[in-house]
């Protein structure tokens, strides 16, 4: 199985989803390096509030980078270029939020996000993204709640961290 790619989704809906966080998606040329990509290759890039994707960009990568933008504080967002930084707790929160946001993308959903994260090699203590999310992610949920990135139903509230 191959991971879901940016070319496989409704881009207008994806733009609308991330636009709620004031993130602009920029389509990169398929034959060029992706600006702001920390990992290179087909991985999404991030410069300021601009998320760069090519047709071959894995959707989990695009959501992961978008969630870094959402989870970082305002000062880091102002100087953001390529390396989102952040510590262990924030990284866990980013992974948790990208799973939540996956459910707002018709072509993806939670099950596909879990599968794609596992296939790509995200590593979790319990061996899979689903088990981590369901059994071991309380710290990530607490982090997102502390920074008011989720509502009372533990769903995205469409605001970036202050």
In a domain, 155, yes or no: no
The pLDDT of residue 1 = 60
Span 22-36, pLDDT tens digits: 999 999 999 999 999
For residue 5, the cross-strand partners are 58
In a domain, 157, yes or no: no
**What's the domain range around 13?**
6-146
Question: CB within 8 A of 70, min separation 6: which ones?
Answer: 21, 23, 97, 149, 160, 161
The pLDDT of residue 123 = 76
In a domain, 151, yes or no: no
Span 104-155, pLDDT tens digits: 999 999 999 999 999 998 878 788 999 999 999 999 999 999 999 999 999 9
Per-residue pLDDT averaged across 60-71, rounded? 98
Measured between alpha carbons, how far apart are the two ends of the chain, in Å?
A: 38
Residue pair 140/87 in contact by the 8 Å Cβ criterion: no
Per the structure, the count of domains in the chain is 1
The number of C-alpha atoms within 13 Å of 103 and in the hemisphere containing its C-beta is 8
Place of tokens 């959402």: 70
The pLDDT of residue 124 = 80
In a domain, 1, yes or no: no
pTM of the model: 0.96
Q: Which helix (H) or strand (E) holds 25?
A: strand 24-27
């Amino acid at each position: 199985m191959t991971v879901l790619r940016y070319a496989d989704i409704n881009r207008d809906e994806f733009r609308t989803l991330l636009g709620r966080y004031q993130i602009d998606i920029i389509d990169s040329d398929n034959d060029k390096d992706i600006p702001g990509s920390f990992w290179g290759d087909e991985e999404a890039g991030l410069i300021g509030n601009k998320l760069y994707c090519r047709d071959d960009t894995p959707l989990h990568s695009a959501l992961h980078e978008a969630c870094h933008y959402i989870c970082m504080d305002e000062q880091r967002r102002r100087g953001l270029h390529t390396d989102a930084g952040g510590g262990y707790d924030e990284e866990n929160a980013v992974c948790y939020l990208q799973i939540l946001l996956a459910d707002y993308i018709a072509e993806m959903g939670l099950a596909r996000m879990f599968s794609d994260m596992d296939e790509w090699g995200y590593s979790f203590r319990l061996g899979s993204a689903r088990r981590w999310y369901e059994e071991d992610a309380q710290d990530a949920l607490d982090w997102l709640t502390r920074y008011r990135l989720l509502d009372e139903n533990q769903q995205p509230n469409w605001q970036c961290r202050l």
